[in-house]
Amino acid sequence: MRRLAEIAPGVLVATSSFALTTTTVVTGPGGGCLLIDPGVTVAELAGLAGELAERSLVPVVAWSTHPHWDHVLWSRELGDAPRYAAPAAMHIAETERAGMVGAMENSAPGHDPELFGRLVRLDASAVPWEGPTAQLIVHDAHAPGHGAVFLPDTGVLVAGDMCSDVEIPLLDTEADDAFGDYRTGLSRLAAVSGVSQVIPGHGHVGDEAEFRRRVAADAAYLDALALREPFDDPRITVGWMRAAHEEHLRYVRR
């Protein structure tokens, strides 16, 4: 089954059977490509490697948007490109490795744990490669060192786990100021000019109007949370998200 769909010239997206997780491929010169958050199941990664080979694409560099298990996966067939992440993200991937491996084995068993989460620290404003400019927007919303990628040539924003049509803002409630971190991260993304499409970490690709709608919906969610009173959001459709929502309320009321 082919999964990669070209959403803009040289930008391909695959959507996983697991939580609508997205994988983004950006093509560069000579068949090299930038691979962002490959996932999620073992079969899907094998399919991805096969599809890239069919298209004569070879990952030459990779980016992990944030240190959660479903965004730091890899397989041997994807090769040995450096898998960059922001410094804070790489730190978490190292210090919380055991828990992340456990979560991966619970939800998507069978991956080679040796290849899991092997990130390389990158403290830069763009991905170092020969392909289209890939600007990094690093903040601490949702997870430490969360790095969105903006491709100015095509106007595509790879948002990581933000700006989703199917998820509420998910706060990193282990942080000292999860609420402030989220506000800051969201405003960083909202300030990116020239966004024509947004790719959320989980959910559907949206156009410019949809991007603005999601930013507004997420800001409204945070505004409601700041009132510290129970409220609902149409995106809360499953138990784990309801639990996260309740955890957010406890967090702002503490």
Residue 137 CB, nearest distance to Zn ion (Å)? 16
Which residue blocks in the chain are alpha helix, DSSP H?
A: 42-54, 87-95, 97-107, 178-190, 208-226, 239-253
The number of residues making up the chain comes to 254
Question: Which C-beta is closer to Zn ion: that of 26 or that of 141?
Answer: 141
CB 14 within 8 A of CB 5: yes
Residue 10 CB, nearest distance to Zn ion (Å)? 26
138, with CB counted inside 10 A (0-12, 13-18, 19+), is: buried
Question: Which C-beta is closer to Zn ion: that of 68 or that of 111?
Answer: 68
Residue 92 CB, nearest distance to Zn ion (Å)? 11
Per residue in 68-94, is it b (16+ CB within 10 Å) or e — as a string?
A: bbbbbbbbeebeebbbbbbebbbbbbe
Could you say which residues in the range 134-163 bind Zn ion, by CB under 5 A?
Answer: 161
What does R_g of the chain's alpha carbons equal in angstroms?
A: 17
Question: Which C-beta is closer to Zn ion: that of 129 or that of 221?
Answer: 221
Residue 166 CB, nearest distance to Zn ion (Å)? 13
Residue of 22, 68, 136, 200 interacting with Zn ion (CB under 5 A): 68
Question: Which C-beta is closer to Zn ion: that of 68 or that of 83?
Answer: 68
Judged by CB under 5 A, the stretch of 66-74, 79-87, 116-124, 244-252 that binds Zn ion is 66-74
Residue 109 CB, nearest distance to Zn ion (Å)? 19
Which two three-digit tokens encode residue 111?
A: 């991956």
Question: Residue count at the site for Zn ion (CB under 5 A)?
Answer: 2
Residue 108 CB, nearest distance to Zn ion (Å)? 14
CB 132 within 8 A of CB 158: no
DSSP state letter for 67: S
Judged by CB under 5 A, the stretch of 9-17, 31-39, 62-70, 239-247 that binds Zn ion is 62-70
CB 147 within 8 A of CB 63: yes
Which two three-digit tokens encode residue 160?
A: 């990581």
Question: Which C-beta is closer to Zn ion: that of 84 or that of 129?
Answer: 84
Question: Which C-beta is closer to Zn ion: that of 161 or that of 218?
Answer: 161
Could you say which residues in the range 158-197 bind Zn ion, by CB under 5 A?
Answer: 161
- CA–CA distance, 116 with 19 (Å, rounded to integer): 19
Give me the residues that bind Zn ion (CB under 5 A), please.
68, 161
